[in-house]
Amino acid sequence: MDGSAGVLARLRRALWAAAAGFALAALCIFLIRTNALWAAGIGIVTALAVVVLPRRGRVVVDAARATALDPMPAFSPLAQGVFEHLPDPLMLLDAADRVILTNAAMRAIVGAATEKKHVSAIVRNPSLLAALARTAQTGDAEQVEFTFHVPVERTYQAYAMRVGAEPGVTALLLHDLTSQKRSEQMRVDFVANASHELRTPLAAVTGFIETLKGHARDDPAAREKFLDIMAIEAGRMRRLIDDLLSLSRIELNEHVPPQGEVALASVAREAVNALSALARADNISIELSAAGDLPPVVGERDELIQLFQNLIHNAIKYGRPGGHVWVTLSPAQAASRSADQVIAASVRDDGEGIPSEAIPRLTERFYRVDVKRSREKGGTGLGLAIVKHIANRHQGRLQIESHAGEGSTFTVFLPVAREPLASAPSVAAQ
């Protein structure tokens, strides 16, 4: 029945085409006196247009050409275009769990060379692979939460569903939960860390207030002394809250790569200028030097300024009084041959150095090598944690080197932009 109906439809279309061509040819002969040869040509073109144009104007899905080995013909070009531009990552698998399609969002996660590969060679998470296997076997939709740990930890909600019976296609759709998970964790961490770190200054301020209300009420000398200490403790609480909020904001966006291009020499110079007064107070000189042909890096300018300020501030606080701080920018060898070119930004001091056993813990929140000295210098224990997370967001890495009595060097390796801007001039500041 289907075959005969198709034949009748094609016959009707051919008859309509012939009738239209004949009618137009007759009009040309009798109305505008066209000769018979030209009229026949116009009639043939009209007939072909009636047959071809409607077919070109609609998407034809040839399900007969779609097989278990190649289900893609079952999806029209329009559908494939919609898949490509979905904001959420999408992957389609054939009956043998081989990849037949990934959209742009998915390729940003798993890479470009995925076609015809088995899904287990691309996604190595056991819970996700188990969910896909259950869907392929039962046809029921599955939902599972999983985490990619590299290059930056990201959490996804995965939806696996069977699409169509013949040919069978399994669709895997991911929804990014990273921001939501980070927000939840930040709230927990903020409460725990803030309550611990604020307890001491709050207790001190409360004690001084009670003393001023009691026997020191009429003692001007004691009142001035206590008020000065209270101002110091209040400043410490303010710096702590500012650093906690800054760290929380950076962690929230750590999985989102920056998009801008930044000239690192100007960023470093701005950070040096901001801290020059603090360095002069301790009779410390800051020297900035950069190669003249440095390309820009991919980055967020404000965050990179904060990174340099934290490193230089630490070098001033823990360097030798009357000493030096050296800030150096230079091209460097990437960690792997396949990696992009990187710039090494190092900050070196001539202080007493850091014990080797403490170096692995320096970027932990609130870790201090010398707690008493850190608090006396106004440190919050969050500066290097902020540096680490900024470096992570910029797809960079932090390296720390220190030797007793020889000072410390903190180096951040940042990838350069793929299309460099004009090279920056050589920089030397004292």
Q: Which residue has the higher pLDDT, 8 or 291?
A: 291
pLDDT tens-digit series, residues 22-60:
555 555 555 455 555 445 554 554 444 444 444 433 333
**CA gap 163, 140 in Å, rounded:** 10
**pLDDT at position 42, please?**
47
Nearest-Å Rg of the Cα atoms of the chain is 34
User: Please, which residues bridge with residue 160 across strands?
Assistant: 142, 172
Residue carrying structure tokens 């701005």: 270
Fold for 259-430, please state it. Answer: Heat Shock Protein 90 (3.30.565)
Q: Per-residue pLDDT tens for 249-260?
A: 888 788 788 888
Largest CA distance in the chain: 123
* β-sheet with 90-93: strand ranges across: 99-102, 90-93, 169-176, 154-163, 142-148
DSSP letter at 122 equals: T
* Residue of 265, 258, 295 lying closest to 421 (CA atoms): 295
pLDDT at 239 over 50: yes
Distance from C-alpha of 123 to C-alpha of 91, rounded to nearest angstrom: 11
- pLDDT of 208 over the 50 cut: yes
Which residue from 106, 93, 72 is spatially nearest to 136, judged by alpha carbons?
Answer: 93
- pLDDT tens per residue, range 376-429: 666 677 888 899 999 999 989 999 998 877 889 999 999 988 754 444 444 444
Backbone angles phi, psi at 269, to 5 degrees: -65, -40
CB 100 within 8 A of CB 115: yes
pLDDT tens track for 67-88 = 555 666 666 778 778 888 888 9
Cα 391 to Cα 394: distance, rounded to the nearest angstrom: 5
Contact in structure between 381 and 221 (CB atoms under 8 Å)? no
Q: Is the pLDDT of residue 95 over 60?
A: yes
300-332 per-position pLDDT tens digit: 999 999 999 999 998 998 888 888 999 999 988
Q: What are the backbone angles phi and psi of residue 112, rounded to the nearest 5°?
A: -90, -35
Query: Residue 220 in contact with residue 356, Cβ under 8 Å?
Result: no
**Over 50: is that where the pLDDT of 244 sits?**
yes
Class of domain 177-256: mainly alpha
pLDDT tens digit string along 124-175?
889 999 999 999 888 889 999 988 876 677 889 999 998 765 667 889 999 9
Please name the residue that has the structure tokens 């030097």.
289
Place of tokens 């009636």: 50
What pLDDT is attached to residue 49?
Answer: 47
Residue 347's pLDDT is 94
Fold for domain 65-176? Beta-Lactamase (3.30.450)
Q: What pLDDT is stored for residue 74 in this prediction?
A: 64
